[in-house]
Structure 1
């Protein structure tokens, strides 16, 4: 059985990149489990305070920390993601750095994880970690999540697994992970793929490995990009017309993700607007609002040059399409990317 490491022998060097979120928030009191201090203006916890508050992490690695930004993940921008990815690549290019842990808010954690999974150019571990309860809350989950993330990033078995999320003793792939609950500490699950592994006594036990292309295996390069093409998501419900699809086109969207019914279905009016968007050069990806399963190519989609989302959620489809459009607008090539990534 694995127990916490002692100080014998050299330790790996892990850098924590702090971006903010609930893991760095201050609630009103210990019973305020959904008060993150955003509306009251309470200052979030900085990386130095966070590292001092969880000294157990130092048993696994030599640790350095950087405060990249300190905002809730609902406020992050595409430019923030590009800054984060570029900094990770710089750090992991150093022989003295063995892995990176990113502290992050939960609202867009799965999007950041998937973005990094597509653009980081290293096989060294990158682990995203967050918490569902503020740092000041009773039974806050941030400290143990952070120690687990450091222990995971420090372990040789974590190499070449792609970007991972470590929450609630579970190890998730960036491709499979999704936030499935608004407030529960077990909010992050992998509905279709299952977890990569679990953390037990601060040691990772892997049950599977990612088969999707990731990190250094991908064709995406953001080193010289300052922004990404605009891609909008449109949600489909009973009786939905094409108003918001038309508005996305008018706003300059280069791509549209249609979060459709069932296996990508939609109303006749929505279909007509998507057809018009495609005729105007907008790339269309057809997905599903169901939260699980595949949307695979069918004749009705292929003959319209629509791309199908496969197993990608709408937010992850948006991330992938934005990156794809920096390389090509050929629907056949982009469909290949949705198949492979």
Structure 2
């Protein structure tokens, strides 16, 4: 029997992971020196108006700054969220998260959660009790978005400063500015207006319910390194990565993912060692187009994914046993 959810308040599970939104400083005007201090229950208590929108339940998955999140934590977080979503009583999930690596966690969840239920990731640029903290309003808007019916089927969403972004293309583009979270060329999907999120675009690349990746089938993630190309870059960067056991190298290349002579030699070294080599761009946006010379070195192009997002997709593809051709297809589809 299918439950009639129209006659009850939506149930939103809030999964806390830490970050600035759960942090405090010794002085309310110090926006840089602070520590994770608050639990998810404290975040809920600080925004009582959010409870007027839905029945909220908190789960503390982890409580760290997001720069400390590694592959094992990422897998654990995804399993936690997946288990919550399977519960028929859960209508949506909001994840509080640090902004430093929010874009990576959000994209990982966007690829491995088999659901059409709204999943919204939210953070803050200022500590919880600082002067003009952005966390409470961001959190309220995240609950608004999670309870908006049209959020269903949109994949993992990110809410910041009243805007709603798609997880694939959202990125942090400033060190400390209040509007650091932005959507690049393709990421802005809509905005919060009143007590609803209004969407004007939707993600068309594969995600969540249409993704082939399933968190329940993943037990570990391979090592994938990111190298930042620059003038006079040395081949030793690639050699160190190969020697350290990396199964793929993502290069943040110049312009259209252009490779310096040193990293082009590194691509040959990686090919000979059986290590996947992926060209992305350090520019932050735009599509890395394939070149005629890519086939010679077996190079994969990242499309419009940033280097950090390309790393996420490469880890999943390799973990699922994809070869180079299949990996390129994945980069074309996700």
TM-score w.r.t. the length of structure 1 is 0.94
Are the counterparts in 2 of residues 309 and 338 from structure 1 also a CA contact under 8 Å?
A: yes
Output one character per residue of 1:88-127: Cα deviation in whole Å (capped at 9) or x when no partner: 1111111100010000000000000000000001100000
Are the counterparts in 2 of residues 35 and 134 from structure 1 also a CA contact under 8 Å?
A: no
* Structure 2 residue 86 is matched with structure 1 residue 88: no
In structure 1, C-alpha distance between the alignment counterparts of 2:190 and 2:274, rounded to whole Å: 42
RMSD, matched Cα? 1.3
Match of 2:203 in 1: 210
Output one character per residue of 1:189-226: Cα deviation in whole Å (capped at 9) or x when no partner: 11211410000113101010110110011111231433
Match of 2:251 in 1: 258
Output one character per residue of 1:130-150: Cα deviation in whole Å (capped at 9) or x when no partner: 000000111100000001101
Deviation at 1:48, TM superposition (A): 1.5
SS at match of 2:188: coil
Output one character per residue of 1:234-272: Cα deviation in whole Å (capped at 9) or x when no partner: 110111111111000000000000111111112222211
Deviation at 1:282, TM superposition (A): 0.2
Gaps of 5+ in 1: 1-7, 38-42
More strand by share: 2
* Structure 2 residue 101 is matched with structure 1 residue 103: no
In structure 2, C-alpha distance between the alignment counterparts of 1:186 and 1:326, rounded to whole Å: 35
Output one character per residue of 1:53-87: Cα deviation in whole Å (capped at 9) or x when no partner: 11011011001001111000000111111111111
Task: Choose which of 6, 18, 21 in structure 2 pairs with 1:20.
Answer: 18
In structure 1, C-alpha distance between the alignment counterparts of 2:213 and 2:75, rounded to whole Å: 12
The structure 1 segments of at least 4 consecutive aligned residues displaced by more than 4 Å after TM superposition are none
Deviation at 1:9, TM superposition (A): 5.4
In structure 2, C-alpha distance between the alignment counterparts of 1:170 and 1:283, rounded to whole Å: 36
> Could you tell which deviates more after superposition, 106-115 or 255-264?
255-264
Task: Choose which of 193, 212, 218 in structure 2 pairs with 1:219.
Answer: 212
In structure 2, C-alpha distance between the alignment counterparts of 1:331 and 1:9, rounded to whole Å: 50
In structure 2, C-alpha distance between the alignment counterparts of 1:166 and 1:274, rounded to whole Å: 38
Match of 1:327 in 2: 320
In structure 1, C-alpha distance between the alignment counterparts of 2:293 and 2:157, rounded to whole Å: 36
In structure 2, C-alpha distance between the alignment counterparts of 1:190 and 1:49, rounded to whole Å: 29
* Structure 2 residue 132 is matched with structure 1 residue 134: no
Are the counterparts in 2 of residues 257 and 317 from structure 1 also a CA contact under 8 Å?
A: yes
> Could you tell which deviates more after superposition, 308-317 or 223-232?
223-232
> Could you tell which deviates more after superposition, 263-272 or 123-132?
263-272
Deviation at 1:288, TM superposition (A): 1.0
Are the counterparts in 1 of residues 218 and 319 from structure 2 also a CA contact under 8 Å?
A: no
Gaps of 5+ in 2: 1-5
TM-score w.r.t. the length of structure 2 is 0.96
In structure 2, C-alpha distance between the alignment counterparts of 1:71 and 1:194, rounded to whole Å: 26
Are the counterparts in 2 of residues 79 and 226 from structure 1 also a CA contact under 8 Å?
A: no
Are the counterparts in 2 of residues 258 and 287 from structure 1 also a CA contact under 8 Å?
A: yes
In structure 2, C-alpha distance between the alignment counterparts of 1:106 and 1:68, rounded to whole Å: 16
In structure 1, C-alpha distance between the alignment counterparts of 2:217 and 2:300, rounded to whole Å: 27
Match of 2:3 in 1: none
Counterparts in 2 of 1:9 and 1:56: CA distance versus 1, 3 Å: farther
Match of 1:33 in 2: 31
Match of 1:72 in 2: 65
Deviation at 1:35, TM superposition (A): 2.3
Match of 1:11 in 2: 9
Match of 2:180 in 1: 187
In structure 2, C-alpha distance between the alignment counterparts of 1:9 and 1:27, rounded to whole Å: 43
Deviation at 1:328, TM superposition (A): 2.8
> Could you tell which deviates more after superposition, 325-334 or 176-185?
325-334
Match of 1:152 in 2: 145
Are the counterparts in 2 of residues 328 and 334 from structure 1 also a CA contact under 8 Å?
A: no
